[in-house]
Structure 1
Amino acid sequence: MKVISMIPARYSASRFPGKLMQNLAGKSVILRTYEATVATNLFSEVYVVTDSNIIYDEIVNNGGKAIMSIKEHESGSDRIAEAVATIDCDIVVNVQGDEPFTERESLEKVLSVFHDDPNKDIDLASLMVQITDWDEIKNPNTVKVIVDQENFALYFSRNPIPYPRDENANAKYFKHKGIYAFRKEALLEFTELPMQFLEASEKIECLRYLEYGKRIKMVETNVQGVEIDTPEDLERAKKLWK
């Protein structure tokens, strides 16, 4: 089973423009993410896929591999599907460019879904981590996920889900970490599906998968890390890096 990683990377970002080129302990956020992904030693190849000459040059000039997008894309999965169409592989892992704390343990867990699926029933797997801080639970920058008893995703939202109407129900809250692992065929199929209103409303691309009746296997990890969506996140990342 040949596994590669693709890191979609846009220069512009509505909440934090240019965030991937911000300095994190002497290197850019995108270079930190690329190097962390390579360092897991789980992938035959790792590529950054971008629409930005600045990001492309940042990776290539530091000895990495990058691909320039040909078209404009609505989501990271659409971006990497274009790039992966002519690449020989079985599994494609989408690591978000703002995840500099990407590490081997969590990625191994999500890849184990496919090793334990000889009939190829599962097309897509992703990661979640339990959160207990109510400020983070309420934060719309933190995507939450709820799952069934077999850990298949039921819904993703920027709102707190489930809603805590009964505070004695002992509800657990899980943050969706921005890592997806696709079978290549499923990724290419994903990009042929038009965006529907749930994805358009929440701006969460994996909702497209659920809207078309697909199943997403969620895997729990204990590794928090910091996804860099805001300047405040960057400051937290700098402290954690130390």
Structure 2
Amino acid sequence: MKIVGVIPARYKSSRFEGKPLALINSKPMIIHVLEQVEKAIGKENTFVATDDKRIHDLVKSKGYNSVITPESCATGTDRIWEFAKQIDADIYLNIQGDEPMVSPIDILSVIEVKKKNMNCVINGMLPISKSEDPNDINIPKVLVNKNNDLIYMSRLPLPGVKDLANKTKPLFLKQVCIYAFNFEQLKTFGINNKKSSFEAFEDIEILRFMDSDIKVKMVMMETETIAVDNPGDIIKVENAIKLRK
């Protein structure tokens, strides 16, 4: 079974232009992510999908695989679909390029669940930490059933709490952006390169699979990571990397 890990990367970003090339401890962020994916599945199975020559050339100079994809991709998963049209595999992993501390163990966990559930899209999740606010719209919240099948994902708190005075609060879960798909699932997602209705409102691409009646199974991750959403997050990641050593 061929498994590839793909990091979608674009240079242009409204919040942080050139983010994949931003230096973290003197190393470009995209290289940090590549090294973590390599630990899980090997360098030969680790790829970047990008529309930018600067990112492409850097990745190739470090001995990693890079595939050029169109600039018009609506989401990172649309970019993985463009990649899948060029590279054959049984399982395609989508690993976010802005999480330089992504865990190889968590990547392997997603793979193992995918192997047992090839008819499902697989996605990671974690409990929201005490330092995070369930009302933060930058954190996609996850609602699952007892089998960890995704019921819905939203930027609003899930589940909703009617009695705000009640001191007992639910366990809020958040999305961790490690995904696993097969070719047909990616094809269904990407063939129109257009966001579905709920996906557009929430700006959460996993909802396009649900809109296409593709089941999504969530997997509990082991490791908390820090996403780089803006330049100020770099120092947070650098400090966290120091603490891990």
TM-score, normalization: structure 1? 0.91
Q: Which residue of 2 aligns with 1:188?
A: 187
Q: Which residue of 1 aligns with 2:60?
A: 60
Asked if 1 retains the 8 angstrom alpha-carbon contact of 2:185 and 2:214, the reply is no
Q: Which residue of 2 aligns with 1:199?
A: 199
Task: Work out the CA distance in 2 between the residues paired with 1:209 and 1:95.
Answer: 17
Q: Relative to 1, partners in 2 of residues 1:188 and 1:140: Cα closer, same or farther, differing over 3 Å?
A: same
Q: Which residue of 2 aligns with 1:174?
A: 173
TM-score, normalization: structure 2? 0.90
* SS of structure 2 residue aligned to 1:81: helix
Task: Work out the CA distance in 2 between the residues paired with 1:15 and 1:95.
Answer: 20
Stretch deviating more after TM superposition (108-117 or 215-224): 108-117
Q: Which residue of 2 aligns with 1:49?
A: 49
Query: Tell me, which stretches of 5 or more residues in structure 2 are unaligned?
Result: none
Asked if 1 retains the 8 angstrom alpha-carbon contact of 2:33 and 2:101, the reply is yes
Task: Work out the CA distance in 1 between the residues paired with 2:234 and 2:104.
Answer: 22
Task: Work out the CA distance in 2 between the residues paired with 1:168 and 1:111.
Answer: 38
For residues 70-120 of structure 1, the C-alpha deviation after alignment (integer angstroms, 9 at most, x for no partner) is 351101111111111232210000001111112221112111113324xx4
Task: Work out the CA distance in 2 between the residues paired with 1:171 and 1:74.
Answer: 33
Task: Work out the CA distance in 1 between the residues paired with 2:15 and 2:133.
Answer: 17
Q: Which residue of 2 aligns with 1:129?
A: 126
Displaced runs of 4 or more, over 6 A: none
* SS of structure 1 residue aligned to 2:134: helix
* SS of structure 2 residue aligned to 1:32: helix
Stretch deviating more after TM superposition (124-133 or 225-234): 225-234
Q: Relative to 1, partners in 2 of residues 1:121 and 1:169: Cα closer, same or farther, differing over 3 Å?
A: farther
**Paired AA for residue 236 in structure 1:** K
**Paired AA for residue 189 in structure 2:** F
Query: Tell me, which stretches of 5 or more residues in structure 1 are unaligned?
Result: none
Q: Which residue of 1 aligns with 2:234?
A: 234
Asked if 2 retains the 8 angstrom alpha-carbon contact of 1:23 and 1:29, the reply is yes
Which of the numbers 149, 154, 164 marks the counterpart of 2:151?
A: 154
Alpha-carbon shift at residue 162 of structure 1 (Å) = 1.8
Q: How many residues align structurally?
A: 239
Q: Which residue of 1 aligns with 2:24?
A: 24
Asked if 1 retains the 8 angstrom alpha-carbon contact of 2:126 and 2:176, the reply is yes
* SS of structure 1 residue aligned to 2:232: helix
Asked if 2 retains the 8 angstrom alpha-carbon contact of 1:42 and 1:104, the reply is no
* SS of structure 2 residue aligned to 1:47: strand
Aligned sequence identity (%): 31
Q: How does 1:108-147 map to 2 (within 5 A)?
A: 108-117=108-117, 120-122=118-120, 124-133=121-130, 135-147=132-144
